[in-house]
Structure 1
Amino acid sequence: MITAALMTVIGVLVAVETISALLGRPVRWVPYDRMLGWASSTPWSDPWVMLGASVVTALGLLLVLLALVPGRPRFIPARTGDPDLVIGVQRRGFTRSLAHAARQVQGVDHARVRLHGTTAQVTAGSHLRDTTGLAEAVRLAVADRIAALAPVDDYPVRVNLRGR
């Protein structure tokens, strides 16, 4: 996004400079006369030119590498009754469903689920003073919901219970 915004700003700047020069009233936001003079008198072997070319090349390679690295998937693949069919469940919907399952456990007031890789991290809160076995009940409820949703990957459940 940063690269796209930067390229948009540069494109607008070039367009304004070009159009204003063609209309006979250059805005001269960029002092290109000095840059043109420097560029026409500087040989390719100049250390500053080589440094600039190296920086631009390194940035280009970095952008190519960033484009090749896969991002976080938008969907979680889930099985269906048909062995040849896999559907995608949105990550947000998946975590909401798991949080809802955790909230259904007796004694849980609120719950939030976050996915860390293929681990479901449940943070649940309870008003109960004695929370013995509550964390395990939440873990089982969330694990049952995961089994019902049938994701392709295994999602072990970790529960962090906060009592009052």
Structure 2
Amino acid sequence: MTEQETRPVLAGVSGAHRAEVGPPPHDRSADRAARRAFRPYRRIPAIVVAALLTLLGLLVAAETISALAGRPLRWLPYDGMLAWASGTLWSNPLFLLGAAVVTLLGLALLALALVPGRPRMVPVRSGDPDLIIGLRRRSVARALAHAADEVPGVHSSHVTMRGHTVSVRPETSGWDDERCEQDVRAAVLDRLAGLDLVEPYRVDVHVKERR
């Protein structure tokens, strides 16, 4: 792990510097600022929805203005749509299918807007709302894997981060798996405490015997 990979990203530094050494004090406003700074934005779904709504608005505006001017464009088949709507029952399977599709699309767009995506950076506690620190997820994973590798009996380990769960897969020579699992979990938790991440993480350890 190189120095550049483990170097934190700073955003919105106010110029203040802490003179004390050690983990910064817990500050809820600072933690909220760090979460907001690295929160992923749903740009692609927002662009798609905005483009569709813009095209729909332009189409409706063009049809309305042309009709008021006495020369309707009739890009939309009004007569056919009106005839189908007046002659179709609410219980018609085709109507129910169309309503279900529209409802599912609306729920999917709502879920994309509300459910946060996977952030590229992991916020680190700074104790100052104006000092935003973040680490790359792969750098955090490598640091935790290095901590697991330092446990006696562990030849190598692989760490993945999904959501708020850290999955550790140490490879051993087949000695006491239960003791190894406890030692690896303790080492990873200790390294997490040293990193002082804003979000809490759960550690899952799955020992694998070397063949």
Q: Give the TM interval when normalised to the shorter protein.
A: 0.5 to 0.7
Unaligned runs of 5+ in 2: 1-43, 52-76
Residue equivalent to 1:83: 128
Q: Distance in 1 between matches of 2:101 and 2:87?
A: 16
For residue 63 of structure 1, report the CA deviation from its aligned partner. Answer: 3.2
Residues 125 and 44 of structure 1: CA distance in aligned 2, closer, same or farther (over 3 Å): same
For residue 40 of structure 1, report the CA deviation from its aligned partner. Answer: 6.8
Matched length: 135
Q: Quick one: which of 110, 113, 127 aligns to 1:68? A: 113
Q: Distance in 2 between matches of 1:163 and 1:122?
A: 14
Residue equivalent to 1:94: 140
Q: Tell whether 2:192 aligns with 1:140.
A: no
Residue equivalent to 1:33: none
Q: Distance in 1 between matches of 2:206 and 2:107?
A: 39
Q: Kindly provide the CA deviation profile for residues 99-152 of structure 1, in whole angstroms up to 9, marking residues without a partner as x.
A: 122122232122122335423221111124345632222122211211121101
**1:134 aligned counterpart, secondary structure:** helix
The 5-angstrom pairing of residues 1-164 of structure 1 reads: 39=80, 42-47=83-88, 50-51=95-96, 53-74=98-119, 75-80=121-126, 82-84=127-129, 85-131=131-177, 133-164=179-210
Q: Given the two structures, how large is their TM-score scaled by the length of structure 1?
A: 0.60
**1:151 aligned counterpart, secondary structure:** coil
Residues 123 and 51 of structure 1: CA distance in aligned 2, closer, same or farther (over 3 Å): same
Q: Distance in 2 between matches of 1:125 and 1:50?
A: 57
For residue 78 of structure 1, report the CA deviation from its aligned partner. Answer: 1.1
Q: Distance in 2 between matches of 1:117 and 1:134?
A: 25
Which amino acid is 1:67 matched to?
A: L
Aligned sequence identity (%): 31
**1:68 aligned counterpart, secondary structure:** helix
Q: Given the two structures, how large is their TM-score scaled by the length of structure 2?
A: 0.49
Unaligned runs of 5+ in 1: 8-35
Which amino acid is 1:129 matched to?
A: W
Which amino acid is 2:84 matched to?
A: P
Which amino acid is 2:198 matched to?
A: V
**2:134 aligned counterpart, secondary structure:** strand
